[in-house]
Structure 1
Amino acid sequence: MALEKEHEVEEPLISDHNLEAASSEWFRNAASESKSRKAVKFQRRLLFFLLTVLPWNLLALIILWNFMHYVRCPVQHLLEYELRYFGTGHKGDPSPYFGEASPELDKAWEDLYPSLYQLIPKQQAAKLANKTLIFPHDPQRRYVIELDVFHQLHCLNMIRQSTHPEYYKGAVPGVIDGNKEDLLFGPHHVAHCIESIRQALMCHVDVTPATWIWNEDAKVMQNVYATPHTCRNFDKIRDWASVGKYGANVEAGFDFEYREMNDPLDPKTVKKPDFALHVEFNPALCASAIGVGSKRSTARTACDVIARPRAADLEQRLG
């Protein structure tokens, strides 16, 4: 019995295989728990970023976007959008802006831009991307701008009138007279207007799709232009630009050859002060120069350089 006990081997509670498996399982659980903790930390940081940092960044971008548009456009706050259907000008779809030249047609076009130029205060002019000038002879010293939409309409009207040269000959100053090329309706002006309108069309890029239908009577495909377009409210901008608070009344003419001076937004127009009237004056120094044994002409010249009027007055008082 004793011999049997000597040879009896105690079996471990956990075998090496089970121990290795348990150890591996522990490490896997520990690694998984570590990854889980890291994931939770990452989620918390992401949530903090989304709830705090990101909204402020978005707000800053929105403010910057609005500011960039505002400084370039003093009517940004008036912009509204609406759906409009375009007409064709063909028979059965008349337009007040299309037809043979007539006083009524001219009036319709002129009403599109009752004031070609607009006047804005210094506070708005200072925020423009490009500097502008004070409108000549304006009592309020406002700054002149020209909203590009009105320049484009003016150009389109010039092109329209150029298609009726006989009707408009002599209607306005500068029209073709004999062999002298017209400065308003001449080839150069029309070419400028065409180029201006081309750039405007390509800038705004209206992507409204015009569709096609089958004309059963004519047995042909034809365009359908009566498609809703998303447009800015033109009437609001025209009302703002009309003669009044912002519109420039140029019935008497635009004095292009006159430049307002002392423009606070243009240092080149600020008149330099008279040095003799504004330089610091030292009466004692000037009196000393006159009283010492130097020649009076030399002393007088020195006083003139310092301050001519005051030096002359001082010399008179000194006898």
Structure 2
Amino acid sequence: MTSTYYSHTKDSDVGEYVELEQQEPLLYPPGKDNGTEEAEESFGNDLSPLRLILYFAGIILLSFSCFATLHILLTPPAPSIEPPKIFQELLYSPVEHLVRYKLQKFHTGFFDDEEPSVFDGPSTDAMDKAWTDLYDIYTYAISSLTEEENKHLPDPTVPSFGNMSRLYGGLDVFHQLHCLDYVRMAIEPERYGNSHSKHSLRGKRRASKDLPHVSDAEHVSHCIDMIRQSLMCSADISVISWYMPEASSPEHTPKPLPRFDQTRMCRDFDGLRDWARSRTPDADGLESVMPHADHGHGNGHNRF
């Protein structure tokens, strides 16, 4: 089937129509009637059962999406609720909102490329001061609490001499550090002798008639077991990997050794210590819970 095309041409005075030669159309392949048959076939395919099902399914999904969107837009927002924290549900702490985590590589003292640590090596005056700065009882170990904070404690503290403005507690990390330091000094009697017990648990209990006498040996035993329980409580799950050391000689065959300097995820200790410093009781408050305490810090080995 062919088609006839007309063109409007202008002669000198009169416009006339000139019949063009029959041509095959450019937009359709040879043998097709201007694509009519192909269009009919395509339309028939579009109406196949599968296409009809997909067509109506699309309409249903689009309608559902529109309805859901309108429902979300028109429904008043629910009051915001802070997601429950596991720690908060199990045990309250007044500093839980201050807890931050950081990655920290441990110091072992075994590797030559490690930076020196004041806590490593033989005891020195600098080491004693570094330990005292970690948990100083007059700065960090005893903290003032508010009545509201005290209400949430699993074991509320009692006011000092009935004065509700003097509610004292302390973050356990500072007691744990004290215990570790106490054991450190106990194994070096040639340096510390009995001086490390000047502000010890024994010294404090002697100052109070309500508490029994505790010997140095009992104090050390208490501290060791407190450290044990603390380690098991925190249960560090960092993985200790192994490495192959270099051979010390051609005859030496090295064996894999554990390395203890892995990077760990730690709580930011400095932030917690800052909070404890901001809650330090005044001198009268300290005296009320630590009678006869040496507020001048004595020889620098002030202890619990």
| Structures share fold, TM-score greater than 0.5 | yes
The structure in which a higher percent of residues are helix is 1
* Pairing partner for 1:75 from 80, 92, 95: 95
Q: Deviations over 1:155-209 (max 9, x none)?
A: 1111111111232123242699xxxxx94632x2122112111121112121111
Output the CA distance in 2 between the equivalents of 1:206 and 1:144.
30
Q: What TM-score does the superposition give when structure 1 sets the normalisation length?
A: 0.54
CA-to-partner distance for each residue in 1:259-317, whole Å, 9 max, x for gaps? xxxxxxxxxxxxxxxxxxxxxxxxxxxxxxxxxxxxxxxxxxxxxxxxxxxxxxxxxxx
Paired residue for 2:189, among 131, 141, 165? 165
CA contact (8 A) 1:81 1:233 kept: yes
Compute the displacement of 1:256 (Å).
5.6
**In structure 1, how many angstroms separate the alpha carbons of the residues matched to 2:181 and 2:271?**
21
Q: Which residue matches 2:275?
A: 240
Question: Deviation of residue 118 (structure 1)?
Answer: 0.9
CA distance in 2, matches of 1:126, 1:204: 25
Residue 96 of structure 1: aligned partner: 118
Alignment check: 8 A CA contact 2:144 2:280 kept: yes
3-state DSSP class of the match of 2:134? coil
Matched, 1:224 2:262: no
The alignment's TM-score, normalised by the length of structure 2, stands at 0.56
What is the rounded CA distance, in whole Å, between the counterparts of 1:136 and 1:98 in structure 2? Answer: 42
Q: How does 1:1-319 map to 2 (within 5 A)?
A: 62=83, 64-65=84-85, 68=88, 72-90=92-110, 92=112, 93=114, 94-114=116-136, 115-135=140-160, 141-171=165-195, 172-173=197-198, 183=214, 185-186=216-217, 188-218=218-248, 219-242=254-277, 245-248=278-281, 253=287, 255=289
Q: 1:136 to 1:96 in 2, by over 3 A?
A: farther
- Structure 2: how far apart are the matches of 1:184 and 1:241? 29
Residues in 2 aligned to 1:168 and 1:203: alpha-carbon distance in whole angstroms: 31
Per-residue displacement from partner, 1:45-93 (whole Å, max 9, x unpaired)? xx99xx8xxx979x7582x437935971101111111100001033634
Q: Distance in 1 between matches of 2:132 and 2:145?
A: 22
| DSSP 3-state at the match of 1:157 | helix
Give the match's secondary structure for 2:265. strand
- Give, in whole Å, the separation in 2 of the partners of 1:142 and 1:74: 16
Checking the alignment, whether the CA contact within 8 Å between 1:158 and 1:185 is kept in structure 2 is: no
Query: Which structure would you say has the larger RCO, counting Cα contacts within 8 Å and 6 or more residues apart?
Result: 2
Gaps of 5+ in 1: 1-39, 177-181, 258-319
8 Å Cα contact 1:169/1:175 also seen in 2:
no
Residue 156 of structure 1: SS of its match in structure 2?
A: helix
How far is the alpha carbon of 1:213 from its aligned partner? 1.1
In 1, the alpha carbon distance for the partners of 2:109 and 2:267 equals: 21
Tell me how far apart the structure 2 counterparts of residues 184 and 97 of structure 1 sit (CA, whole Å): 27
Moved over 6 A (4+): none
Secondary structure of 1:191's match? helix
Q: Report if aligned partners of 1:69, 1:76 keep a CA contact under 8 Å in 2.
A: no
- Larger displacement relative to structure 2 (144-153 or 212-221): 212-221
Per the alignment, residue 10 of structure 1 pairs with: none
In the alignment, the residues of structure 1 paired with residue 266 and residue 215 of structure 2 have an alpha-carbon distance, to the nearest angstrom, of: 31
Aligned residues: 214
